[in-house]
Homo-oligomer: A and B are copies of this chain.
Amino acid sequence: MSNSRSNPVEGSETAKTAKKRTVSLSVVRRMPRYYRYLNNLLEGDITRISSRELARRTGLTASQIRQDLNCFGGFGQQGYGYDVDKLYHEIGNIIGVEKSYDAILIGCGNLGRAVAIHLLSQPSAAFRLRAAFDRNPMLIGANIYGLQVFDPEELAEYCAEYAPKAAFLCLPTENAKSVVDVLYASGVRYYWNFTHYDISLEHPDTTVENVHLTDSLLTLCYHITVEENQGSDNT
């Protein structure tokens, strides 16, 4: 992997993209994990931790942890370790957990509801769910966990008025394109995407967190298949 940190502008990247890249995506992806583990430590009244002990608990290596945290300035002290509360809040600030960005939910089936409950039940969930959209006439106008459900026909109008920062897509894949077209035209650039519609391929200037549940399940399936085949090889 090239070290874009030491040479932030290279090739055809724009300065903005390069700046975003200064912390690698794999480090970024571990930040929420640290945040979660640190929260567990706080709940267990642990106020100080060494990178070695943090490594044991997270399953990472101590050197990786030090490297990761150094990307953001480093918060540890040699011989002392990390101040758990301070590190927890620093990482929270880096992620922006207190920002409460406005988000809307598209699709109020079981998955959409699970997502809604998940968000509404967490005091600091980084996003504030403002409205939901579902084409099911039985749901339109209803109230799901305090969240009003609108007709997707009203999506453009809603976005024009409230300018939500992010959309959470929990609708069937086949309906995703037409909804994203509206959202994108309305200025929504951040997506938490549970569908298989490839938003960033169509709209490269969006930021998309994909959750591909089927891919995850098939990865588990692959591991079983490999082991089963090995088992039959050995007999």
Report A's interface with B, CB cutoff 8 A: 16, 19-20, 28-29, 31-33, 35-36, 57, 59, 94-97, 99, 101, 109-111, 113-115, 117-119, 122, 125-127, 165-166, 190-192, 196, 198, 200-201, 207, 209, 211-228, 230
Contact = CB atoms under 8 A, between A and B. Distances in A.
Contacts of A215: 29, 32-33, 36
Contact of A32 (B209, B212, B226): B212
A25 to B, nearest CB: 9
B220 A97 contact: no
How many of these chains are in the complex? Answer: 2
A56 B202 CA distance: 11
Contacts of A207: 220, 223-224, 227
B209 A219 contact: yes
A222 B125 contact: no
Nearest to A40: B196
7 contacts: A32-B218, A95-B225, A96-B221, A110-B114, A127-B217, A165-B224, A207-B227
A20 B219 contact: no
B214 A36 contact: yes
Contacts of A198: 59
